[in-house]
Each structure stands twice: as structure tokens, then as C-alpha cells.
Amino acid sequence: MSTPPPAGRSREAASLHGVPATQQLPLERFTLDNGLRVVLAPDRSAPVVGVAVVYDVGIRSEPVGRTGFAHLFEHLMFQGSANLEKLAHFRHVQGSGGTFNGSTHLDYTDYYEMLPSNALERALFLEADRMRGPRLTEENLRNQVDVVKEEIRVNVLNRPYGGFPWLKLPPVLFETFPNAHDGYGSFDDLEAATVADAAEFFERYYAAGNAVLAVAGDFDVDRAAQLVQRHFGDVPARPAPPRPDFAEPDITSERRQSYVDKLAPLPAFASAWRVPDPITDFAAYLPYVVLAEVLTDGDASRLVRRLVQTDRIATSVGGYVSFMGEAFDVRDPTALLLQAHLPPGGSVDRVLTVVAEEIDRVAQDGLEPGELERTVARMSTHLLRDTDTVLQRALQCAVHEQQRGNPGLSYELPARLAEVTEEQVRAAAATLSSNRRATVEVVPGGGMQ
């Protein structure tokens, strides 16, 4: 094993030493007759498997008047299906030693299990059963509306900074309903949801042709392929609906809004700038992902040094690409976000000015020796660490197959990031001007306790 390069070594050396070579793990892809795409990623290093089904529908596809519906519907997919009573899904997964969950994102909704590998067929059975159709009943719908309302209370309404910034910033940056609306939904919209809405949503979006199944972990590929065919082969074929175009133009002048958070004791803000298309313009997009880390990853990053350590005008700083922090699982339009919490009485104007100065310094003066290499090395660790769990591997394979037709993207990313040049990072920084900036500010409400 080589020793790491000292700071200041050339980028070529760093990419040899600091960033490990791309891992070539086997991946198998095929499509069933009903249109379901399948990815198999065997890895026999531990006796566990991850199973993920990803549907190409998310918060952006919700109809007007039905905010929060994609997420509510996700809950309904756990309430029973053709051969499964309510509660049976949970019991079968956990009674096999596994865990499960589902989550709703801007561009997709995922359902997944992680289990001991002797339960693989059972997990495939469970996912296939609900792909044929969930049991949509009035009773289950009303019960899950109540559960979702408690979820919103615990995550948004009953805590300081709830929904900041992922629910609060999109309406400042975006104009159109799909991109701007609250993905958790209003209580009015949730309560107005009907079983007929759910049936229609399923019919349209939960088609085999609109889904990807991925399995990662401890299995034999031929055997797993047979099991997939056995359980999913007769899921009725329905084509994927045409994907709407969610594009909207960049903003042309600075936008800024504020709101009072009556639970928040300290000021905070988040800013966003549009970035290139993550799918069709990936090479231009990657430097923004790196830039966010250059600015905010750890004590040696630009903004932590300046805002937190030197000027002491921020308590914490964060930066990432895409509103849910999933840079490689999102489609256009999306954004680079910077956020900070301020000390009592702190001035958002002052911090915005300093942030602009630091961004400008990157654009004008470039990076310090070693800065790009060490940032990318740390990013590689994060990426590789994610793929150490078979569940994350399955999820990434599924989403990347769905959005890019490239299920192995995760394995390529360390090498792709190492190709990003200082010039590209500088050029990305140069686009983060104040006239393209959308900012939302949290005004502390004094802190009801």
C-alpha cells in the first residue's frame, strides 16, 4: 500500500495514491417481457442481501391540489396487496430477520429490504405482490393520513428549523408547481385524498415499465435471475407514462424571502443556485458537486475556516448539491445549496457578503496546492462507504439504472471525480453570482419551549 501524497503533490499523483482505483464489481442487467428492468449486483462478502424497487415517480409528479400525495401513496404501498393482508409485509420481512423501508424523493420513490440472504426469494415475492397492486381501502387511507400528519408534526411542525431548507427554499428558487411545492403536503390536501386518487396514481405510475428492481449481495446470479422471473414475470405489463418536462428557466435576478420560525432561537439561511443538468450534462455538473465540498467539507474547507473559525459569524455551515443532498439521484432542475446557522443577533446580510467573497476567491485565485486532491479523496471515502452496505448498493444501482441507464455509476464515481480539474471548479464558482442566487432566511421567533 502506498503512502498518501504530501500536500502540494500534483493531481496526477494524488489520483494514483489518494483515490483508489475504480472497483470493478460484476453487474448483470436484463429486462423482463413486461418491461421491468432488473439489475443484479452479487457480492458474497457477507450473508446478506439488499432488494430495492424504484418507481419513476416522485414529489414533482404530484397533481395540483394533492401536495404530499406521492409520499402518502408510498405509505399505502405497505398496507397490504394481492396475497398479503395489512401488516403482513412488515411481519414477513422482519420475521425473516430483515429490515424494510420506503422513501419518497423528488424524482423517484423507493421500496427496499435488507435481509439475511436465505430470505431473498421471500423479499422478491413481497415486492412483486405489491407491484401487482396494493390493497387500497378507505380505512387504510384514513389511518395513513393520520400517521403522515404525525410524521409531519414530528419532523416539521413541532421542532425548530423543521423543513429547513428542503421544503422552504424550492418555492423561492422555482416558479412551477412541480418544483416549488411542499412535498410533505398540506393537511388539507392530505385529508382531501381519496381511494380513487390512489388507484389512479398506481395505475399511471406504478407500472412494471416504470420500475427498476435491483438486488445486491450474497446470491448466485443465475439462481437470482430465475427467482426474479418466477415472481415478477407475470406482473402485468404496463408501459411507463411519458415523463413530463419539469424544466424551467434560471432566475434572472436575486431572490430573497424570509419566514418566522416560532421555535427557532437563532437565525439561519440557505441559498441556492441552479446547476447544469445532472443527467445530460454530467461532466459540467460534477465540478459543482466538488465545489460544494471545497466550500464546506470539514474544518479545512473554505467557508468553515472563514465563517466559523476566523470571522465567527456562523455557528455551522453546510453545502451540497440537490435539495435532498443526493447529488447523483436527482434530475434537472436542481441546485447547489449553501446554508448556515448564525449566532444570536447575527446578520444574514453580512454572512451572504462574506460567502460571496469566498466564492469569488475560488473563482479568481483558484485552489490551494492539494486542496482539490484532498477534497476528492474525502468524497471518495463517502462514496465507497455507502457501497459497503448491500442495501445502499441496491438502491444506487436501481436509481442510476432508472435515471441514467448506468447502474454502475457509483463504482465509477471516485475516478470521475478525480478527473475534475481546478479550472472546472473555478469556472463553477464563477457562476454562483448574487443575481442567480435564491435565499431563504429563518427569522427566530424567540423560542416557545
Q: List the interface residues with other proteins, window 106-135 (CB under 8 A).
A: 114-122, 125, 129
- Does residue number 309 form part of the binding site for other proteins (CB under 8 A)? yes
- Please, which residue, 173 or 430, has the CB nearer to other proteins? 173
Binding other proteins (rule: CB under 8 A), the pick from 30, 31, 85, 146 is 146
Binding other proteins (rule: CB under 8 A), the pick from 164, 174, 206, 288 is 164
Taking the complex as a whole, how short is the minimal distance between the CB of residue 400 and other proteins, in angstroms?
17
Taking the complex as a whole, how short is the minimal distance between the CB of residue 231 and other proteins, in angstroms?
8
Which of the ranges 5-13, 193-201, 272-280, 351-359 carries the binding residues for other proteins, by CB under 8 A?
Answer: 5-13
Binding other proteins (rule: CB under 8 A), the pick from 137, 389, 406, 433 is 389
| Residues between 354 and 373 with contacts to other proteins, criterion CB under 8 A | 370, 373
Half-sphere exposure of 393 (CA within 13 A, CB side): 25
| Residues between 249 and 278 with contacts to other proteins, criterion CB under 8 A | 263-266
Of 283, 172, 234, give the one whose Cα is nearest residue 36. Answer: 234
- Please, which residue, 207 or 304, has the CB nearer to other proteins? 304
**CA atoms of 127 and 210, how far apart (whole Å):** 14
**CA atoms of 112 and 242, how far apart (whole Å):** 25
Which of the ranges 85-93, 205-213, 252-260, 431-439 carries the binding residues for other proteins, by CB under 8 A?
Answer: 85-93
- Does residue number 45 form part of the binding site for other proteins (CB under 8 A)? yes
- Please, which residue, 16 or 435, has the CB nearer to other proteins? 16
- Does residue number 328 form part of the binding site for other proteins (CB under 8 A)? no
**CA atoms of 235 and 446, how far apart (whole Å):** 55
- Please, which residue, 155 or 245, has the CB nearer to other proteins? 155
Other Cβ atoms less than 10 A from the Cβ of 275: the count is 28
**CA atoms of 52 and 113, how far apart (whole Å):** 7
Phi then psi dihedrals of residue 39, to 5 deg: -125, 130
- Does residue number 402 form part of the binding site for other proteins (CB under 8 A)? no
Other Cβ atoms less than 10 A from the Cβ of 59: the count is 26
- Please, which residue, 153 or 243, has the CB nearer to other proteins? 153
Cβ-based burial of 434 (10 A; exposed 0-12, middle 13-18, buried ≥19): middle
Taking the complex as a whole, how short is the minimal distance between the CB of residue 173 and other proteins, in angstroms?
16
Half-sphere exposure of 194 (CA within 13 A, CB side): 4
Taking the complex as a whole, how short is the minimal distance between the CB of residue 311 and other proteins, in angstroms?
10
- Does residue number 147 form part of the binding site for other proteins (CB under 8 A)? yes
Taking the complex as a whole, how short is the minimal distance between the CB of residue 45 and other proteins, in angstroms?
5
- Does residue number 151 form part of the binding site for other proteins (CB under 8 A)? yes
**CA atoms of 286 and 283, how far apart (whole Å):** 6
Q: How many helices and strands in the chain, by DSSP H and E?
A: 17, 11
* DSSP H/E element including 88: helix 88-94
- Total residues at the site for other proteins (CB under 8 A)? 125
Phi then psi dihedrals of residue 330, to 5 deg: -145, 150
- Does residue number 337 form part of the binding site for other proteins (CB under 8 A)? yes
**243 alpha-carbon distance from chain centroid:** 19
- Does residue number 241 form part of the binding site for other proteins (CB under 8 A)? no
CB-based contacts of 336, cutoff 8 Å, min separation 6: 272, 273, 275, 288, 291, 292, 319, 320, 321, 432
Instruction: Name the β-bridge partners of 272.
Output: 337, 438
- Please, which residue, 245 or 346, has the CB nearer to other proteins? 346
